[in-house]
């Protein structure tokens, strides 16, 4: 099952349905013990449809300003390749009922905007948080951290909460507190390097062709 950060500490109906989806999917292990039901959970994928990168590119093309909802807002920056790798890793290595979480870099949205603006004479405008929007993304809650360990493959794994699905004693705890995007944040230089690595810096000549190719 593929889930999102909205399932962690949900604040709206969409998040609640995501959380219920995870629970229903992993509980299927009880009904069908010969099949291994596992989940992945991650935040927005870089340059995916509806995400901030295409929006910022469009705003730059139109001369700005770039709009952010809060100067303190942070988000995980997960590439499409890393998202696919997370799914493959869960299919290959996750134990019954586990949810795999990618360990991804995070950045302040102001730095993402500054990185894309570069030396252009374009401003940044704060427009205020929208209803249900979070200042930061949480991928693992504090409660879930008690059931979380770090795998040998570079992912966090949340072990199932249902006793019927758990296989013996839970593995040791490798995470203290929740895992969220406000804990270890890239500086401006690190943000630029990550965007360059994923070919997401604004380039008038080819940026739209590349993004459209990525999101299909």
Listed in sequence order, the residues at least 6 apart from 25 whose beta carbon sits closer than 8 Å to its beta carbon are: 1, 37, 39
Total domains in the chain come to 1
Respond yes or no: is residue 6 known to be catalytic.
Answer: yes
Q: Which residue has the higher pLDDT, 11 or 73?
A: 73
Q: What does the pLDDT average to over 186-194?
A: 96
Mean pLDDT taken over the chain: 90
Q: What does the pLDDT average to over 56-62?
A: 95
Confidence category of residue 204, pLDDT binned at 50, 70, 90: low
**Cβ–Cβ < 8 Å for 150, 93:** no
pLDDT at 182 > cutoff 50: yes
Condensed to tens digits (0 to 9), the pLDDT of residues 135-177 reads 999 999 999 999 999 999 999 999 998 888 877 667 777 888 9
Looking up residue 93, the CATH number of its domain turns out to be 3.40.50.720
Q: Distance of CA 17 to CAs 5, 25, 152, Å?
A: 12, 12, 31
Q: What does the pLDDT average to over 185-199?
A: 95
Peptide bond into 65 cis (omega under 30): yes
Lowest mean pLDDT among 27-36, 82-91, 171-180: 171-180
Q: Which domain holds residue 53?
A: 2-215
* Catalytic-labelled residue, pool 6, 125, 134, 171: 6
pLDDT at 207 > cutoff 60: no
pTM, 2 dp:
0.87
Q: What does the pLDDT average to over 68-84?
A: 95
Listed in sequence order, the residues at least 6 apart from 204 whose beta carbon sits closer than 8 Å to its beta carbon are: 61
Q: Which residue has the higher pLDDT, 18 or 163?
A: 18
């Amino acid at each position: 099952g593929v889930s999102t950060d909205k399932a962690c500490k949900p604040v709206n109906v969409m998040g609640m349905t995501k959380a219920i989806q995870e629970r229903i999917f992993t509980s299927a292990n009880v009904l069908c013990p010969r099949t291994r039901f596992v989940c992945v959970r991650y935040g927005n994928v870089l340059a995916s449809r509806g995400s901030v990168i295409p929006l910022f590119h469009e705003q730059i093309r139109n001369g700005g300003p770039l709009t952010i909802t809060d100067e303190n807002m942070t988000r995980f920056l997960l590439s499409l390749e890393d998202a696919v790798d997370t799914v493959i890793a869960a299919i290959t290595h996750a134990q019954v009922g586990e949810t795999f979480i990618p360990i991804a870099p995070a950045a302040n949205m102001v730095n993402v905007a500054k990185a894309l603006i570069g030396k252009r004479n374009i401003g940044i405008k704060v427009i205020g948080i929208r209803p249900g929007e979070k200042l930061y993304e949480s991928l693992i809650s504090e409660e879930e951290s008690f059931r979380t360990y770090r795998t040998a493959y570079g992912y966090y794994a949340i072990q199932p909460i249902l006793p019927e699905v758990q296989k013996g004693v839970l593995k040791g705890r490798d995470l203290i507190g929740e895992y969220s995007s406000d804990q270890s944040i890239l500086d401006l230089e690190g943000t630029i390097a990550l965007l360059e690595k994923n070919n997401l810096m604004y380039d008038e000549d080819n940026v739209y062709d590349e993004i459209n190719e990525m999101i299909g």
